[in-house]
Chains A and B, each alone.
Chain A
């Protein structure tokens, strides 16, 4: 539920940052703005540093059922949870449920913006 502080840091560059960041990174910024930027990074990077085990779309561990399946409590209908994990060629992983909804909007990995193609699926 909360940002896990231990994992939140390490503000490395990422392609999913809002377009404001590039410009905010240049030298002409005042100290107080740097502070703001750092705070932003810490939050924006959250999904990056835990990317291996957390779905960056719904932010639930990929090994658990996605937020949607939890909300719809699919377990009740099928008796068993069948929310699988999908890995892209880019090696980013998501819940299959989450990613299949997103590719309908835009067939790119939301983390690295590469064209999305499935490498493997499973648990």
Chain B
């Protein structure tokens, strides 16, 4: 984290001198700092390459709910068009979840590029919103009615116990540090 903060600071300082830094990187430098300020203790932001702010891992360890005890990695990719388009988020840990496919597709309205209901992406949103949205997928936003993994949702409807059992199986197999 220290390395990243230093990097952010350096980037901002350079920004004053070097106007070639893209809008995305300028936004990212600021938003990553904000993210670090509010990051709950059960979450972690990890940059593989501190020279590239646009690609990082967000690790969430739910402290309650069905997935408690697991550690779930999300790959976040912020394209050059940010913040006119949402970050691309993929779940890199296999899990049994109605709103996340086994292939890692994440169903979260704020990550939708086009939406007319006002719940989709908007350039006023920040990385913080993405974090809270992903966290909520393990609690409040968990939605069995409009699932991405239909089998998981059906299983939950048929038997909560069976659902929890399968979730645990996946957690033990794929989501333990």
Residue ranges of A at the interface with B (Cβ–Cβ < 8 Å): 1-3, 15-16, 18-20, 23-24, 33, 36, 39-40, 43-44, 47, 56-59, 67-68, 70-73, 98, 101-102, 104-106, 108, 110-111, 113
Contact = CB atoms under 8 A, between A and B. Distances in A.
A36 B114 CA distance: 28
Contact of A40 (B38, B113, B118): B38
Contacts of A33: 139
B34 A43 contact: yes
Contacts of B19: 70-73
Interface in B11-26: 12, 19-23, 26
Contact of A108 (B27, B109, B118): B118
Interface of B: 12, 19-23, 26-27, 30, 33-34, 37-38, 40, 83-85, 109-110, 113-116, 118-120, 122-126, 128-129, 132-133, 135-136, 139-141
Contact of B23 (A47, A68, A104, A111): A68
Contact of A58 (B27, B85, B133): B27
A44 B127 CA distance: 10
A3 B119 CA distance: 24
B110 A19 contact: yes
Nearest to B129: A18
Contacts of A59: 27, 30
A85 B169 CA distance: 55
Contacts of B114: 105-106
A15 to B, nearest CB: 6
B111 to A, nearest CB: 10
Contacts of B116: 106, 108
B101 to A, nearest CB: 20
A115 B118 CA distance: 11
Contacts of B129: 18, 44
